Chain A
């Protein structure tokens, strides 16, 4: 697994994550169609992976100290996972290789997802782990953003 961190500018100030995938297409319905396609493909269960190709599902969590992004990437090459932060955007990319079999050459699919980081993160302290086909990226919040408990001694 490689991890490149390119941190050019300050992250955007507003809170919350917005997935950037296929949101701004031609018609107001295009996003929905994609969603419906996705549901149908999922229901059919064929094609052996996330559909449409290249997209994979992500979850975002937080606790007091960190924001966590978990991505379902079953069966990808661990060494080809890339985690990148550029201008407040987190980009996850990976490669899924299907080994060559009888009458079939080796195939490779590129997977990619971008998320906008709504909050400042300590970009130099981001870590990532890949386990059971799930990638977990831990994005530490800056010290000042964490809730602090101050104990005041009353004399």
Chain B
């Protein structure tokens, strides 16, 4: 498997390439996720409950896939918390790959708080049948 998760969610790094992103994210927790592989792509499923399309950012740069999700829901002012198990923090997941991903063809679908990302393998990584003369 040439795709791995960084051990800890990276702190929002101020990056000159993306000035807006770092400021927009607050504290973040690492979401539950699952990786799988098929012949021509890697697949990532990330649980992002409470995140909608507007609050989701997917960045691919320098051998990293960064997924940032902010929760769409905020507790109304007149609601009182009686018991909490979840967090209001957003989500951040950084996956590192060895640049065998064709970043130009990454596709992602967010549905009911579950993000499915397909990371197509670069041509040289796909199985190839070699013709023998």
Encoded as 1 (CB less than 8 Å from any B CB) or 0, chain A from 71 to 114 comes to 01111101000000000000000000010011010000000000
Q: Which residues of A contact B113 (CB under 8 A)?
A: 72-75, 132-134
- Kindly state the separation between the CA atoms of A51 and B80 in the bound complex, as whole angstroms: 27
How far apart sit A45 and B44, CA to CA, in the bound complex (Å)? 12
- Contacts A61-B75, A101-B43 known; A132 to B112 CB distance under 8 Å? yes
Interface residues of B (CB under 8 A from A): 5, 30-34, 36, 38-39, 43, 45, 47-52, 72-73, 75-76, 78-86, 93, 111-114
Q: How far is the CB of A61 from chain B (nearest CB, A)?
A: 4
Q: Which residues of A are in contact with B by a Cβ distance under 8 Å? A: 16-17, 19, 42-43, 45-51, 57-64, 67-68, 70, 72-76, 78, 98, 101-102, 104, 130, 132-134
A64 to B76 Cα, complex, angstroms: 12
Assembled-state Cα–Cα distance A102/B78 (Å): 49
Q: In the complex the two chains form, what is the Cα distance from A81 to B52 in whole Å?
A: 20
State the CA gap A73–B48 with chains docked (Å): 9
Contact of A75 with B112 at beta-carbon distance under 8 Å, contacts A45-B31, A48-B33, A61-B81 already known: yes
Q: Given A19-B83, A19-B85, 10 other A-B contacts at CB below 8 A?
A: A45-B31, A46-B34, A59-B86, A73-B49, A74-B114, A75-B47, A75-B114, A130-B112, A132-B72, A133-B113
Q: A45-B93, A64-B78, A134-B50 are in contact. Are A50 and B112 (CB under 8 A)?
A: no
Set of chain B residues within 8 Å of A68, measured between Cβ atoms: 79
Q: Is B83 touching A74 in the complex (CB atoms < 8 A)? A: no
In the bound complex, CA of A110 to CA of B64 (Å): 34
Ranked nearest first, the 5 interchain pairs of A and B with the lowest CB-CB distance are A133-B113, A75-B114, A48-B34, A74-B113, A57-B85
Q: Which residues of B contact A16 (CB under 8 A)?
A: 82
6 sample A-B contacts, Cβ–Cβ < 8 Å, listed by A number: A43-B30, A45-B33, A47-B32, A48-B32, A50-B32, A63-B78
Complex alpha-carbon distance, A57 and B49, angstroms = 11
Q: Is the Cβ of A74 less than 8 Å from the Cβ of B82?
A: no
Given contacts A74-B112, A133-B50, A133-B112, contact A101 B83 (CB under 8 A): no
Q: Which B residue sits closest to A73, measured CB to CB?
A: B49
Closest-CB distance, B90 to chain A (whole angstroms): 13
A102 touches B39 (CB 8 A): yes
Q: In the assembly, what is the distance between CA of A67 and CA of B82, in Å? A: 9
